[in-house]
Amino acid sequence: MEKRDYYDVLGVERGASEADLKKAYRRLAMKFHPDRNSDDPQAEEKFKEATEAYEILTDQEKREAYDRFGHAGVDPNQGGGFGGQGNFGDIFGDVFGDIFGGGRGGRSGPARGSDLRYNLRLSLEKAVSGETKEIRVPVLATCGDCDGSGAKAGTSASTCPDCKGAGQVRVSQGFFSLQQTCPRCRGQGKVITDPCRSCGGAGRVERQKTLSVKIPAGVDNGDRIRLSGEGEAGPNGGPPGDLYVQIEVNEHPIFVREGRHLYCEVPISFADAALGGDLEVPTLDGRVSLKIPPETQTGKVFRLRGKGVTQVRAAGVGDLLCKVLVETPVKLTDEQKRLLEQFKASLGNSDKHSPKGKTWFDGVKDFFETLKS
């Protein structure tokens, strides 16, 4: 029977990466595994075919020979290298070790504890100035009664009778065997016959830990403060992980921060914009006077140097940028409306009082002239 192209067997392109090959083989192996298709006599052949293709294409030398000479390049009867000698159990174990709890390692020992994250919300003022804050964090801490061993005080764990301390056992999966983590001791190689009452044999207990966190001046959204060794205690007496304090800065009613600069919008009256004047504006240090020149247009931005933020990892202080917005008067009295009518009449049709308006209307006129042409 003529063999099918290995790439077609796995359903991948000829330039497929090893990750693509593994993904394709895993899908086919799960589909045609003999243990899952006992009523389909062709399933085992398809499984073997996929395994053979995977073994060839994940071996660099065999793949190069196959790409140059086809099946003849890997046929041992014609000088090639594949003749069914491949260990299907090893190949399947590599791809599915995570499903069967396997892998080829020995028993596991003390492991580092998990890192933890704590979300800390701050006001903009506190983020800019910095502070020291106390937080309470729930963690898994090493049990003090058994010192993390999980065994009752005065006792110790014994060698696992199933794996004889190896942490791994070999089990049959159809026509091949797999080495997987011992289900009894879960890879530890030891079992606890008399567990600690405080932790139930886990070696760790849940506790609330109170910590003092120094917030540096200038922190911003997304910044993290690392507290080394303040995470969860490691299993089997392993070292603790770290705690990362994630900064979240609340929205401010006046200011918006972008890096080291602050931005705000300042409403001014029609009269102040036209005539000019002094205006008090807020900063994080207090109020300052902002001089508004005559004929100020809405959208004008004024820069107050040194009134921004000092960033944690950058030198220099940013600025405060104030954008003025000219407010149209509302709820006018009859007298005020009469005065505005007189003011409007006094302007006449002169363009000199509205330079932007003239430019805009000239642009509109040119636009329509272009459409006509």
Is residue 214, in this structure, part of any structural domain at all? yes
- Does 363 share its domain with 241? no
* Helix ranges restricted to H, the chain: 6-10, 18-32, 43-57, 60-69, 88-96, 124-129, 270-275, 334-347, 355-372
Asked if 341 and 321 sit in the same domain, the reply is no
Task: Look up the CATH number of the domain holding residue 318.
Answer: 2.60.260.20
- Inside any domain, residue 150: yes
| Contacts of residue 37, Cβ cutoff 8 Å, sequence gap at least 6 | 43, 44
Do 124 and 218 reside in the same domain of the chain?
Answer: yes
Give the Cβ contact number of residue 150 at 10 Å. Answer: 25
338 shares a domain with 322: no
Radius of gyration of the chain (CA): 37
Domain's final residue, options 191, 219, 249: 249
CA dist 275 and 279 (Å) reads 13
How many CA atoms are closer than 13 Å to the CA of 282, on its beta-carbon side? 12
Cβ neighbours of 146 (radius 10 Å): 26
3-state SS of the chain: helix, strand, coil percent to 5?
Answer: 30, 25, 40
Is residue 260 one of the residues assigned to a domain?
no
CA end-to-end distance (rounded Å), the chain = 77
CB 6 within 8 A of CB 13: no
299 and 339 part of one domain? no
Whether residue 148 lies inside any domain: the answer is yes
Tell me the residue range of the domain where 347 lies.
334-372
Clarify whether residues 157 and 239 are in a common domain.
yes
- The residue out of 66, 96, 126 marking a domain boundary is 96
* 275 lies in some domain: yes
- Asked whether residue 155 falls in the same domain as residue 222, the answer is yes
Number of domains in the chain: 4
Element (H, E) at 209: strand 204-215
Q: How far apart are CA 288 and CA 308, in angstroms?
A: 13
pTM reported for the whole predicted model? 0.59
In this structure, the answer to whether residues 241 and 271 fall within a common structural domain is: no
Q: Is 244 helix (H, G, I), strand (E, B) or coil?
A: strand
pLDDT of residue 102: 43
Rounded Cα distance between 117 and 232, Å, is 11
pLDDT value for 88: 46
Based on the domain organization, do 122 and 175 belong to the same domain?
yes
In whole angstroms, what is the distance from residue 348 CA to residue 56 CA?
90
pLDDT at residue 87 in the model: 44
pLDDT of residue 105: 47
Does residue 101 fall inside a structural domain?
A: no
**Among 16, 82, 75, CA closest to 55:** 82
Q: Is residue 106 part of a domain?
A: no
Q: Answer yes or no: is 304 within a domain.
A: yes
End of a domain among 249, 279, 299? Answer: 249
- Write out the chain's pLDDT in tens, 373 residues: 578 899 999 999 988 888 888 888 888 887 887 767 767 778 888 888 888 888 889 888 888 888 887 877 777 655 444 444 444 444 554 555 444 444 444 555 677 888 999 999 999 999 999 999 999 999 989 888 888 888 888 888 888 998 888 888 887 655 566 777 888 887 888 888 899 998 888 888 999 999 999 999 999 999 999 999 999 988 877 889 999 999 999 999 999 999 999 999 999 998 899 999 898 999 998 999 999 999 999 999 999 999 999 988 878 899 999 999 999 888 999 999 999 899 888 887 766 667 666 666 666 666 667 776 6
122 and 221 both lie in a single domain: yes
Claim to verify: residue 200 and residue 148 sit in the same structural domain: yes
Residue 109, pLDDT score? 61
What residue type is assigned to position 213 of the chain? V
| 174 CB burial (10 A radius; 0-12, 13-18, 19+) | middle
Give the per-residue pLDDT at 1: 56
Closest-CA residue to 192 (of 242, 244, 250, 152): 152
pLDDT at 174: 56
* Angstrom distance (rounded) from CA 69 to CA 9: 17
Note whether 120 and 245 are same-domain residues: yes
Two tokens at 343? 């003011």
pLDDT at 137: 93
